[in-house]
Structures are given as structure tokens and as C-alpha cells.
């Protein structure tokens, strides 16, 4: 790059020196520039003349077309008047009428807006509730319904952020609208724990490690809290009604509810994110 710059500078210096030292050289350059200017001037003048002739031709053609249109209107003025009325009257009637037509399907919706869902979409960040004492999960009922539940993780921080917020909104709706307090039985589940549960048989789970959304923090098993005690049993009418409401609320927030499955898991919800699980 430096060599090219030096070479160009040298050539420019030689050219300037030649013009300064040799008058004949200056005259030759000036003559060449003058000839180029004259050629450009003649070219511009010829182009301007061609454009002027083209515009004149267009103007003459347009004038002839207008004269022909005027003659047609004079010869067929009744036909033209009828066409104008046919095209103009319907819009005038529509504009002057007091009624405004509305397309089907665009009527104003009368459905009530779920304020919790609207809040979720607006991005309000809810805070997880205080953790229940470990003894709450040590009762005989809980141990019977959920084997190995004592060692399960109930840490909200290990859940996927999007799923965590949806589940927290489910908890809020269940408490504020339906009077059910809820708690997580198990959230994130390690691959080793998943395999251990699968080894206990299909009555516990059919999913091996990395076949469950628990391993990705996108699933949780939940139950109800009544008088400080965990209530899981589906034989309890109060709990069964709660599970039905829980499924409806969870699905309204885009979660998958285990109560729809062939082997129902009423307390289970998950957020299925495309591309996460490779089955």
C-alpha cells in the first residue's frame, strides 16, 4: 500500500513539473480540456432537444385524447350521466344513513377479561410463597401418595423462569378466586432421582431420566394445603374439586395438565417448550 502511494505521488509530481516547465505541454492540456468541454456541451444540447420533442409529442397525444373523450361525452351524455348516478348514489346513501354496518366476527367482545392472565402477560413478577416446614411432607398420607417425597426438591429457584411465573399465577388465582392454598410437592428432579422413581414401576412414573420435564425445571407436582396440612388424596371431594379448578386455571395460562392423561396425574403441570426435550 505504501509503495502504491509513493508511486502515485511520484507520477503526480512529474506531471506538475512537466506542466510548469513546458509551455507546450500546458497548451496541449488546455486544448484537450476545451475540446472535451465542447463535446459535452453539444451532447447536452442534443439531449435537451430530443427530450423537448418527446414532451411535445406526449402533449399533442394527450390533447388529442382529451378532445376525443370530450367528443364521446357530448355524443353519449345520457349514458355517461346514468353511469355517474349508478356509481355515485350507493356510496352517498351509505354515508348519509345513520346506521353503521359491522362485519360478523368483529363485534365488541362481551367476555370478561381475566385480570390475572392480563397481569401475567404484562410481565408482573410474582414472588414464591414461604416454604412449608419439612414435617408437612412427612405425614403418612403424603408418603403413601408420593413415595420418596421427603427428598424431593421444592426450590422455586430451580424452575424455569417462565414456568415459575405461570405456576405462581396459578397459585394466586386458586387462592384469590377459589379459596385453595397450594404448595409444591416436587419441582426440579435430577436424572438420578427420575431413574429411581421409574424403577419403582409404572404406578409411579413411566418416564426415565431426561424423559420428564422435571429435569428441565419445566414441571412441578402440586397439592393443596388445608389447616396447615398437605391434602393429596383424590378421594377427598374438596381436593377433587380443587384439582378440577387447578387444571382449568393451569390450562388457561398455557400449561399442560396431567389430569388429561390416560394415567392421570392431577397435581402435575408442565410447560412444554419446543426444542428442549429430545425424545
Q: Which CATH number fits domain 115-270: 3.30.1380.10, 3.30.70.240, 3.90.100.10, 3.90.550.10?
A: 3.30.1380.10
User: What's the pTM value of the predicted model, to 2 decimals?
Assistant: 0.58
What does the pLDDT read at residue 225?
A: 97
Give the position of cell 405462581.
Answer: 168
pLDDT tens sequence across 97-150? 544 443 333 233 343 445 656 566 566 799 999 999 999 998 888 888 888 898
pLDDT tens sequence across 32-77? 766 776 777 777 677 767 776 776 666 666 566 667 767 777 777 6
Q: Are 268 and 218 in contact (CB under 8 A)?
A: no
Confidence label for 217 from pLDDT (cuts 50, 70 and 90): very high
Three-class secondary structure of residue 186 per DSSP:
strand
Three-class secondary structure of residue 128 per DSSP:
coil
| Mean local confidence (pLDDT), 84-96 | 67
Confidence label for 265 from pLDDT (cuts 50, 70 and 90): very high
Burial class (CB in 10 A: 0-12, 13-18, 19+), 198: middle
pLDDT greater at residue 59 or residue 277: 277
Chain centre distance of CA 273 = 15
Residues 6+ apart with CB under 8 A from 263: 202, 206
Choose the most confident range, by mean pLDDT, from 70-74, 80-84, 272-276: 272-276
Can you read off the three cell numbers belonging to residue 273?
Answer: 417448550
pLDDT tens sequence across 218-249? 999 999 999 999 999 989 999 999 999 999 99
Amino acid at each position: 500500500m505504501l509503495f502504491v502511494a509513493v508511486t502515485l505521488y511520484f507520477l503526480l509530481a512529474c506531471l506538475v513539473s512537466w506542466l510548469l516547465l513546458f509551455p507546450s505541454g500546458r497548451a496541449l492540456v488546455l486544448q484537450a480540456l476545451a475540446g472535451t468541454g465542447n463535446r459535452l456541451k453539444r451532447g447536452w444540447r442534443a439531449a435537451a432537444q430530443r427530450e423537448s420533442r418527446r414532451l411535445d409529442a406526449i402533449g399533442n397525444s394527450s390533447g388529442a385524447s382529451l378532445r376525443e373523450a370530450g367528443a364521446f361525452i357530448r355524443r353519449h351524455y345520457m349514458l355517461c350521466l346514468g353511469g355517474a348516478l349508478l356509481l355515485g348514489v350507493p356510496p352517498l346513501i351509505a354515508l348519509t344513513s345513520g346506521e353503521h354496518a359491522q362485519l360478523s366476527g368483529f363485534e365488541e367482545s362481551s367476555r370478561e377479561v381475566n385480570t390475572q392472565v392480563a397481569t401475567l402477560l404484562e410481565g408482573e413478577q410474582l414472588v414464591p410463597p414461604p416454604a412449608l416446614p419439612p414435617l408437612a411432607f412427612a405425614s403418612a398420607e403424603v408418603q403413601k401418595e408420593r413415595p420418596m417425597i421427603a427428598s424431593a426438591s421444592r426450590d422455586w429457584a430451580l424452575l424455569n423462569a417462565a414456568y415459575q411465573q405461570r405456576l405462581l399465577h396459578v397459585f394466586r388465582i386458586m387462592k384469590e378466586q377459589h379459596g385453595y392454598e397450594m404448595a409444591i410437592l416436587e419441582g426440579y428432579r435430577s436424572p438420578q432421582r427420575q431413574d429411581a422413581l421409574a424403577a419403582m414401576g409404572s404406578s409411579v412414573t413411566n418416564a426415565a431420566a431426561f424423559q420428564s420435564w422435571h429435569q428441565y425445571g419445566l414441571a412441578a407436582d402440586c397439592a393443596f394445603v388445608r389447616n396447615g396440612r398437605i391434602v393429596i388424596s383424590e378421594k377427598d371431594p374438596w381436593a377433587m374439586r380443587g384439582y378440577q379448578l387447578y387444571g382449568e386455571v393451569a390450562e388457561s395460562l398455557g400449561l399442560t395438565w396431567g389430569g388429561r392423561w390416560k394415567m392421570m396425574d392431577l397435581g402435575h403441570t408442565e410447560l412444554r417448550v419446543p426444542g428442549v426435550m429430545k425424545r
